[in-house]
Amino acid sequence: MAHPILGSPWAYACEPFAVSDHAYYVGNTWVGSYLLDTGEGLVLIDCGMPQTVYLIFESIRKLQFDPRDIRIILLTHAHYDHAGGAEAIRRYTGAELYLGKEDVPLIGHPELLLSDRIHCPDFQVDRVYEDAHPVCLGRFSVRTVHTPGHTPGARSFFFEDTSDGAMQLCGMHGGIGFNTLKREFLEAHQFPISLQKRFYEDLLSLRELPVTIALGSHPAHTRMLERRAAGKGNGNPLRDPKYWSAFLTERADAFRKEILQS
């Protein structure tokens, strides 16, 4: 069943907010999008769905930026809720669009984009990630890490920015959901079962990174909206050196129980 946001996207509108001094949340209450002000143009991380592109643009304008200044679009993975709005935004802005090369074959296959019940326009990929070479523009250098599982080409993103008077490492896992890692799904679409083990090992590996601001590809994953609401007035409420490791440990434990031991 398609998510209710597709029928009433306005009901999921979210006021934009800073996650660090030059990075902003411009997604909705269900799925995330982030804007990086590089000083030499804007970078947009994830594009939502066609029905929510106008919400992303509205959030960008509320922050006093112009969507036409988006120069680079970075997609975490090719599912409809993150990439469905990609072609509309790419055409409107003229930005270069990046995707993991392993996800490019998913384009045009609704069942793999998880969009078989909705319209998800095909989109053109301009560049694929080279994880040895960060995506750089202005003050930002975005390191990409191949973390397959949720999709074959999912990428996690890491970048530094100032917040609370010091440099912070922001991190986002590119696809934390288990739904596409069940044996039935992998076998039905001829994906290797080894993706389960790789996904689990990447969770354990990534949790060792010194991330101080944990971002969610869906805000609920890292409880971003709740943490921000609860911590107003005490510096950046998303800055927590312990949260990232605890979050990925919890996900790894749940994955082991729900998937590896099932």
Q: What's the pLDDT score for residue 14?
A: 97
Domain carrying residue 129: 4-260
Q: Give the chain's domain count.
A: 1
Of 185, 172, 182, which Cα lies nearest the Cα of 221?
172
Residue with tokens 């397959």: 148
For residues 29 and 220, give the distance between their C-alpha atoms in angstroms, rounded to a whole number. Answer: 8
Q: What's the pLDDT score for residue 120?
A: 83
For residues 126 and 44, give the distance between their C-alpha atoms in angstroms, rounded to a whole number. Answer: 15
For residues 256 and 82, give the distance between their C-alpha atoms in angstroms, rounded to a whole number. Answer: 26
Q: What's the pLDDT score for residue 199?
A: 98
Of 159, 149, 141, 148, which Cα lies nearest the Cα of 211?
159
Assess whether pLDDT exceeds 70 at residue 117. no
Assess whether pLDDT exceeds 90 at residue 26. yes
pLDDT-based confidence at residue 234 (cuts at 50, 70, 90): confident
CATH of the domain at 171: 3.60.15.10
CB 216 within 8 A of CB 225: no
Assess whether pLDDT exceeds 70 at residue 99. yes
Range with lowest mean pLDDT among 100-109, 111-120, 134-143: 111-120
